[in-house]
């Protein structure tokens, strides 16, 4: 049975899921725990983009991926558990099936990454890098945030430059 409000319900659930934040300060030493990551484009690359945009008379644009981290799968090798979110109740029947007495002893295993995790930035960057490489771009040798693609038979052909600015707190 489908509700006429199912689309709105799914949108609301997606928004609420995006508000979940893991307590990164409570993480224990785990796989990739020490590898934190913030991709920042080199200022020389930014200047190059602006110069090429001006020369080729095309607009220089930047973009942001909303809720980027929560779109990233965490991978099978990384097991991350969180406490039940405040206000979430589990039925008595489910508690008895799990063999526990109270909600406080339950934990949820994450399938996706959440904001606040040490590994979130690195996993998001790996996902974005793989997607950009799949569509035919090559990574710059001098700037890890720079990607390019040549079209045509050489320098006289049309060129397409794709760069991204990643902002992390």
* Average pLDDT by stretches of 10, the chain with 169 residues: 67 60 54 66 87 87 77 75 79 86 80 73 84 88 85 41 36
pLDDT on residue 116: 67
Give CA–CA dist 71/122, Å, rounded: 13
Residue with tokens 């090559």: 138
pLDDT on residue 1: 44
Per the CB < 8 A criterion, the answer to whether 106 and 116 are in contact is no
Structure tokens at 42: 């080199």
Angle, CA of 139, 142 and 144, to the nearest 5°:
50
pLDDT on residue 24: 52
pLDDT on residue 134: 92
pTM above 0.85, yes or no: no
The 3-state DSSP class for residue 165 equals coil
Structure tokens at 112: 């996706």
The DSSP letter of residue 84 is P
Helix, strand, coil percent content, the chain, rounded in steps of 5 = 35, 15, 50
DSSP-derived pairing of the beta strands 107-109 and 138-139: unpaired
117: left (phi over 0), alpha (psi -120 to 50) or beta: beta
């Amino acid at each position: 049975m489908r509700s006429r409000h199912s689309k709105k319900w799914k949108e609301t659930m997606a928004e609420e899921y995006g508000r979940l934040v893991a307590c990164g300060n409570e993480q224990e030493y785990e796989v990739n725990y020490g590898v934190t990551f913030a991709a920042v484009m080199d200022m020389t690359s930014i200047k190059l983009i602006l110069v090429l945009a001006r020369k080729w008379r095309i607009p220089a644009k930047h973009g942001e991926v909303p809720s980027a981290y929560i779109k990233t799968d965490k991978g099978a090798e990384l097991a991350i558990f969180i406490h039940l979110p405040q206000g979430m109740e589990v039925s008595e029947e489910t508690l008895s099936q799990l063999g526990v007495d109270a909600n406080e002893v339950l934990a949820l295993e994450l399938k996706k990454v959440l904001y606040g995790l040490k590994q979130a930035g690195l996993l998001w960057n790996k996902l974005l890098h793989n997607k950009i490489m799949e569509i035919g771009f090559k990574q710059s040798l001098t700037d890890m945030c720079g990607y390019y693609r040549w079209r045509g038979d050489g320098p006289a052909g049309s060129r397409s430059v794709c760069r991204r600015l990643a902002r992390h707190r």
